A and B are shown apart, each in its own frame.
Chain A
């Protein structure tokens, strides 16, 4: 029998926005999340402030959580992991494990919002020594410290005097296999650079980059202020190696525009790790028979004109499950997916 319910898998920003949109149009939605709480990666990784507006992540994500909690038409299922599916558009029978118990969810259409995972710098091909040096950290680690309001050197708890970011770690790299740009890291590094300059004003901050990708308003909202107001040093050139000297780190690279090699001491090195498909994205893609691209993200079918339809009728994908995305992308594609899911439901189950 046909179902008038839409299943949204994943309770991050994309899934919450898709569910909110569907419910607000008067359709039934089941939002499943494998963690015991909503919020997705911004919550799980304790993001401090959002890019580009530096708004408190807790506050912004909190609003999204409220918009789908105890709301008409929204059936919220936490601690629930999708494990299987049968049926087709209009009539999916989705198997899930909820708090250890197997259940079946009926759905006319499905939106996959299973997101990304941060690149693990243990796999980088340069020699940055993330697992070797305490003071080599990632954007994710830095974000946690900034949220706690305590930005210090992990090795000794002291305030840093020199901090650098290394961009494109795990992105744009044929050797690693991630040839794509992760899209958000330039903005997040610049945002964190501003925050570091705010909390440790006498700390010099450097960003070593290949290209700065600060599209649209990110240019004047983050990049220019970082440079002009906060005096963050942008140096075109990527470090090849980090070595320890005394209690400092020496970053080796090239200052390409000045045509000179560079060996500079740093107190903290922040690796701007990119995005990879989450385990959930890869598993859910397999469960629904969705095609994945060579990087493991879910492939959508319509190129730039349809960013949410998959090869399986009635199954849509949105946000970072389809590739590197910023929050604007996530929320926009969530809306597009909600609209298309409702349309497919109405075609399958005439009102």
Chain B
């Protein structure tokens, strides 16, 4: 009996899983060839008619592609044809949506690389004018200033952000809804308004522009990001953990401080890093609070202080060739910083998930 069953199983061919929805090699090749032909045709048209530039080429390519698709699908039914056209429209929209920042990544890397030399990280602009050769001067003072302000802002913001998160997930008082709402709408406070606020309070009070004022303005902008991320992270802590802690007789404060918070240590680091990434490139508030400086300043209360964004901004306003080149390098450093911060969060996040 059992032998027949096995025989039967062996004779019935087990169907291999198929993926009919996946496009075959041939179809992909077909699309690629059509695309290539359209591109060549578009290039010819651009060269002949003088629709100059990358944008002209893109437009021509799009039109040709639409025409080709129309011809190709003329004998298919209406539904399929519509689907094809929508696909092209969505693809075109996606290309247009992604093109600006792709272009930004590319141009910052290419143009910024020219001034990416060791002296950019150590030198300052005390004895260098912006139009000097790129191997003179640098942005060391701006980098140090930015670091200092951001670190101070983090020291101010992180505890407050974590407390907000704990309030929203652990304490859950009567104001939970209001706090969440305020944090969410506060994340949209324009950066220049944050600068104005610190200007009318702290700068007015101490009677001088300073790195500390800059830190405070950045802290205002950073707080919502940190609070929101902290809340998201704390939400992920399984309730079992809290119940277990309560069951062992721990009070709420012990549960929160010794069970919940330690579990999300890396998540809270992520919150801090995202906050830093949010404010590291902020220019407008610093224009009103920390101004800028041409030399190293280490005292957060010692008057105007340089920072990377204001450095780039100042150079842009000067606008001579080498000044712009320096600005690109500053932008490159800023972007690398953001990239490094993001990579760190990925790394930490990866460790957390295990």
A, B from the same assembly = no
Which chain B residues have a beta carbon within 8 Å of chain A's beta carbons?
none
